[in-house]
Amino acid sequence: MLFTKNEIITGDIVMSRCDVILTTIEKKAFRSHNKMFIIDDIYDVIQRIDSFRKIPYVFVYLDHMQLFKQYILPNLSKKIILVVHNGDTEFNDSEMCNNKGNKKHKYMLKI
With H, G, I as helix, E, B as strand and everything else as coil, classify residue 86: coil
* Whole-prediction pTM: 0.74
Residue 2: inside a domain: no
| CA atoms within 13 A of residue 67's CA, in its CB half-sphere | 15
Residue 4: inside a domain: no
Q: Which domain holds residue 56?
A: 11-110
d(CA 66, CA 60): 10
Q: What is the mean pLDDT of each run of 10 residues along the chain (111 residues)?
A: 71 82 75 73 87 90 85 88 73 58 50 48
Residue 25: inside a domain: yes
Domain count, the chain: 1
Give me the numbers of helices (H) and strands (E) for the chain, helices first please: 5, 5
Task: Tell me if 86 sits within 8 A of 62, measured CB to CB.
Answer: yes
9 CB-near residues (< 8 Å, 6+ apart): 3, 111
Residue 3: inside a domain: no
Residue 52: inside a domain: yes
β strands within 1-111, DSSP E? 20-23, 36-38, 57-61, 81-85, 106-110
Residue 6: inside a domain: no
Strand partners, 57: 81
**Cis link prior to 36 (omega < 30° from 0)?**
no
